[in-house]
Amino acid sequence: MSKPVIATVEIGGPFKLLAQQIWIKAKDRKAPEMGEAITPTAVQAGSADTGTQALNLINGSGLRDLDFDGLTEHRGDPGFMWRSVKGEAKGWLEFDLGRPQKLGALCVWNHNDTWHTDRGVQKMDVSVWTQEGGWQKIRDDLPVDQAEGGDGYDEPTIVRLDAVTAQKVRFDDLASCGDADYVGLSEVQFFGPQSAQTATPVAGGGQ
């Protein structure tokens, strides 16, 4: 994924320096191809700060194609995001998909609070659960791209999965992008395998 940073503007705040990155994006970008969307039935978080409940991760809050270019943006207002309570910067999240589902990809929108993208997730472990198999860790220290901050954030981190079956998905051992007090995300989307991944091979057999 190309995200060239060409400039960092630093503005002196009363207590610390706040930095907002500026992104230059290629023209003619297209939305990545995804399988069928899977909507979780529930989400739990280790903690949630006031006004930033974990439900904001699965209800599409703050997601919209604001500039009509076919790519969805997540807005920069933290009221559309999940954030831990202060002092819980090593959080966890658990998503319930309702029933066993094959996963082709996760789409992780990092914490996009305009002046606090450092509250995003820098890395995390990902595990899946099924009744038969119990918990299985499928990614260790998975890196997540820091959000852009602001209303133009349209390049989430896409995690391709090999049609692994999951009824629940857990993110844990979260590490923030630098903020010592909080960790958060904006939205997490789940997708089934793309048709090429599910296509059953043509049965063999001679003529």
Is 62 near Ca ion (CB under 5 A)? yes
Is 85 near Ca ion (CB under 5 A)? no
Exactly one of 36, 69, 77, 181 binds Ca ion (CB under 5 A); that residue is: 69
Q: Which of residues 173-192 bind Ca ion (CB under 5 A)?
A: 186-187
Q: How far is the CB of 98 from Ca ion (least distance, A)?
A: 19
Exactly one of 49, 76, 78, 80 binds Ca ion (CB under 5 A); that residue is: 80
The residues that bridge with 64 in the sheet, in sequence order, are: 73
- Residue 45 burial (10 A CB sphere; 0-12, 13-18, 19+): buried
Q: Which is nearer to Ca ion, 76 or 192 (CB)?
A: 76
Is 71 near Ca ion (CB under 5 A)? yes
Total number of residues that touch Ca ion (CB under 5 A):
10
Q: Which of 148, 130, 147 is nearest to 138 (CA)?
A: 130
Please check whether residue 19 is in contact with residue 175, taking contact to mean a CB–CB distance below 8 angstroms.
no
Q: How far is the CB of 148 from Ca ion (least distance, A)?
A: 12
Q: Which of 127, 132, 135 is nearest to 159 (CA)?
A: 127
User: Judged by CB under 5 A, which stretch of 2-10, 35-43, 71-79, 168-176 contacts Ca ion?
Assistant: 71-79
Is 95 near Ca ion (CB under 5 A)? no
Q: How far is the CB of 171 from Ca ion (least distance, A)?
A: 15
Q: Which is nearer to Ca ion, 148 or 187 (CB)?
A: 187
Q: How far is the CB of 186 from Ca ion (least distance, A)?
A: 5
Q: How far is the CB of 196 from Ca ion (least distance, A)?
A: 26
Exactly one of 43, 52, 54, 56 binds Ca ion (CB under 5 A); that residue is: 56
Angle at 86 between CA 80 and CA 91, to 5 degrees: 75
Is 65 near Ca ion (CB under 5 A)? yes
Residues at the site binding Ca ion, with contacts judged by CB under 5 A: 56, 61-62, 65, 67, 69, 71, 80, 186-187
